[in-house]
């Protein structure tokens, strides 16, 4: 199979390209770092002929700095995806694997002892300033219990990056319906691993913590450190892309899958694991916050296991041990 990987020189895209090559497939790489932009329709017209499937990893990532980032998220993620899909239609390429994200959910899923399932709205600035980080039931005010979130949960993006990733999913679904193509959207949870970007506000939290430790400083953990996330190694993410590419596809279908390990950890636990591996200093809980952050997102990986045959293989402890020094 001939596969185009967009973002092929990036953190996730590079691992995805390697996974396809290791499985015997021919990879056509496209990356802004190597001079080819996914927003360049002419470049796509040169590269797409003969391609069987596109694994679209190119994106501006991270929570962003402030609203000045809005144009870049819209251009790179939304417009870039639209240009790619239009080119795929011109060249009659019928299969797409799309790198989406758990951020499309907003907050995770919760339950109230009295009122059952609840999807809380955005947390109020005043609550965050006063150290009340956990969502409460809007009906009775009782703290909610976090439960796993499945792919059919309502989507509620809370920041520019999240909005752009959801727009990618919608654009891809439009393309699939109109061309009888098929798209698999992989909602990555917290990806970490070798070659993760560092020393940038757009990097993931694991990379930020590692950079602090490398500089001899304690990782600064927002809120109280008890935010639950599902950390997944980048090589497992690459395997998920390969599984999605090889899975049976139906014309016109758009399917989404959580790509996660299924064993959540807190952000504080992740920081502590990295600090312990590197010999300190210990993390510092700051009580600070970012309005675009959500409290807990815990994935259900069952659909990916059942329909794609994908299950994460790299344990949190082993992955963090490797990542701490990579």
Read off the pLDDT of residues 8-57 as tens digits, 9 standing for 90 and up.
999 999 999 999 999 999 999 999 999 999 999 999 999 999 999 999 99
- Residue 217 phi/psi, 5-degree rounding, is -105, 150
Whether the pLDDT of residue 202 is over 80: the answer is: no
pLDDT in the model for residue 203: 74
* E strand spans, 33-181: 53-56, 95-101, 109-112, 116-118, 145-147
- For the packed helices 267-278 and 205-214, what is the interaxial angle rounded to 10 degrees? 30
State the DSSP code for 62.
S
Identify the CATH homologous superfamily for domain 2-108+149-325.
NAD(P)-binding Rossmann-like Domain (3.40.50.720)
First-to-last C-alpha distance (Å) of the chain: 31
> DSSP state, 282?
P
Q: How far is CA 142 from CA 124, 136, 137, in A?
A: 16, 5, 5
Can you give the pLDDT at residue 194? 96
Using one digit for the tens of pLDDT, what is the confidence trace for 75-111? 999 999 999 999 999 999 999 999 999 999 999 999 9
Mean pLDDT of 260-284: 96
Taking a C-beta distance cutoff of 8 angstroms, is the pair 22, 41 a contact? no
**Residue bearing tokens 């899923």:** 109
C-alpha–C-alpha distance, residues 306 and 167, integer Å: 26
The answer to whether 149 and 303 have CB atoms below 8 angstroms apart is no
Q: Give the whole-angstrom CA distance, residue 64 versus residue 205.
A: 12
Q: 226-265, pLDDT tens digit by residue?
A: 999 999 999 999 999 999 999 999 999 999 999 999 999 9
Cα-Cα-Cα-Cα dihedral of 318, 321, 324, 326, to 10°? Answer: -70
Residue with the two structure tokens 């950890």 = 265
- Identify which of 84, 101, 89, 92 has the alpha carbon closest to the alpha carbon of residue 30: 84
Question: What's phi and psi for 114, nearest 5 deg?
Answer: -95, -35
Q: What is the mean pLDDT of residues 176-185?
A: 98
Q: For the chain, state the CA radius of gyration.
A: 20
Does residue 292 carry a pLDDT above 70?
yes
When the pLDDT of each residue in the chain is averaged and rounded to a whole number, the result is: 95
Residue 201 clears pLDDT 70, i.e. is over it: no
Query: Among candidates 6, 12, 4, which has minimal Cα distance to 194?
Result: 12
Q: Which residues touch 93 (CB under 8 Å, ≥6 apart)?
A: 48, 51, 52, 53, 54, 181
Beta bridge partners of residue 110, listed in sequence order: 118, 146
Q: CA-CA distance, 260 to 196, in Å (whole number)?
A: 17
């Amino acid at each position: 199979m001939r596969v185009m990987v967009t973002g092929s020189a990036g953190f996730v895209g590079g691992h995805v390209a390697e996974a396809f090559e290791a499985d015997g497939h021919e990879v056509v790489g496209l990356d802004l770092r190597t001079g080819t932009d996914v927003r360049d329709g002419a470049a796509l017209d040169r590269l797409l002929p003969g391609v069987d499937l596109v694994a679209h990893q190119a994106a501006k990532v991270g929570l962003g700095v402030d609203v000045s980032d809005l144009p870049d998220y819209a251009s790179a993620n939304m417009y870039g995806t639209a240009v790619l899909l239009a080119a795929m239609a011109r060249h009659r390429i019928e299969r797409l694997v799309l790198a989406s994200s758990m951020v499309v959910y907003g907050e995770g899923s919760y339950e109230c002892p009295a009122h059952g399932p609840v999807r809380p709205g955005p947390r109020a600035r005043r609550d965050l300033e006063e150290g009340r980080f956990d969502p409460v039931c809007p009906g009775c005010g009782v703290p909610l219990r976090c439960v796993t979130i499945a792919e059919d949960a309502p989507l509620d993006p809370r920041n520019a990056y999240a909005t752009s990733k959801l727009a990618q999913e919608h654009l891809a679904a439009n393309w699939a319906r109109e061309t009888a193509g098929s798209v698999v959207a992989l909602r990555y949870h917290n990806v970490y691993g070798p070659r993760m970007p560092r020393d940038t506000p757009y990097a993931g939290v694991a990379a930020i913590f590692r950079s602090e430790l490398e500089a001899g400083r304690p990782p600064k953990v927002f809120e109280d450190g008890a935010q639950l996330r599902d950390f997944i190694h980048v090589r497992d993410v690459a395997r998920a892309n390969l599984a999605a590419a090889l899975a049976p596809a139906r014309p016109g279908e758009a399917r989404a899958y959580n790509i996660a390990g299924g064993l959540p950890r807190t952000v504080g636990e992740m920081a502590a694991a990295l600090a312990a591996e590197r010999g300190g200093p210990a993390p510092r809980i700051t009580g600070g916050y970012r309005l675009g952050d959500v409290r807990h997102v815990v994935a259900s990986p069952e659909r990916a296991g059942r329909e794609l045959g994908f299950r994460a293989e790299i344990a949190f402890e082993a992955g963090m041990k490797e990542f701490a020094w990579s």
